[in-house]
């Protein structure tokens, strides 16, 4: 099986800055002809959430309450109870860098495949209808690895 002009990413982190980096990489790869697949797992799923409340059982609900959506994520450093998020967005805006949710929209429009991890959705009690439009149906890790095997670049973020 030969390598194809593909880029695969496992987006594990839920930090605003890392989510941003993953979408910058994705949208930067498409213009040079790469096919991009992003596999969102664990905290990364927060970047795909549509509404705040998820979960059925006690723990699922508790977790659903703590999970954020893409606009409320904090950076991995200097979060300062949300002030860091505000500051970064300000700085990005002033340099005409798009915000995470704008980059996510662009990624979907460019045909980047956004795939949630089945196991993480099960454990965190998140359902397909809790996620934004345009997201692929969830797959397991083996399916993702098959795609990654054909990719020139694979990143764990």
Contacting residue, 52, 56, 72, 90, with a copy of itself by CB under 8 A: 90
Tell which positions 3-22 bind a copy of itself, by CB under 8 A: 3, 5, 7, 10, 12, 14, 17-18, 21
Taking the alpha carbons of 125, 129, 131, 135 in that order, is the dihedral positive or negative? positive
The nearer residue to a copy of itself, 19 or 131, going by C-beta atoms, is 19
Contacts for 69 with CB less than 8 Å, ≥ 6 apart: 46, 49, 50, 51, 52
Name the segment binding a copy of itself (CB under 8 A); options: 89-97, 103-111, 130-138.
89-97
Q: How far apart are the first and last CA of the chain?
A: 25
Torsion, Cα of 130, 135, 139, 143 (10° steps): -160
8-state DSSP, 73: P
Footprint of a copy of itself on this chain (CB under 8 A)?
3, 5, 7, 10, 12, 14, 17-18, 21, 24-25, 28-29, 31-32, 34, 41-43, 57, 59-60, 62-63, 66, 76-78, 87-88, 90-92, 94-95, 97, 119, 122-124, 140-142, 145-146, 148-149, 151-157
């Amino acid at each position: 099986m030969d390598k194809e002009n593909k880029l695969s990413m496992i987006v594990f982190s839920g930090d605003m800055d890392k989510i941003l980096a993953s979408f910058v990489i994705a949208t930067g790869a498409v213009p040079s002809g790469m096919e991009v697949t992003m596999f969102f797992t664990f905290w990364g799923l927060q970047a795909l959430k549509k509404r705040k409340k998820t979960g059925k059982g006690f723990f699922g609900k508790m977790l659903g309450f703590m999970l954020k959506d893409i606009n409320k994520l904090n950076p991995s450093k200097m979060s300062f109870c949300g002030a860091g998020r505000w500051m970064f967005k300000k700085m990005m805006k002033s340099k005409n860098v798009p915000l995470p949710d704008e980059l996510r929209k662009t990624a979907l429009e460019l045909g980047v495949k956004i795939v949630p991890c089945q196991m993480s959705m099960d454990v965190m009690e998140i359902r397909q209808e809790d996620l934004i439009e345009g997201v692929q149906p969830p797959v397991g890790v083996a399916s993702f690895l098959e795609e990654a095997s054909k990719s020139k670049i694979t990143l764990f973020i």
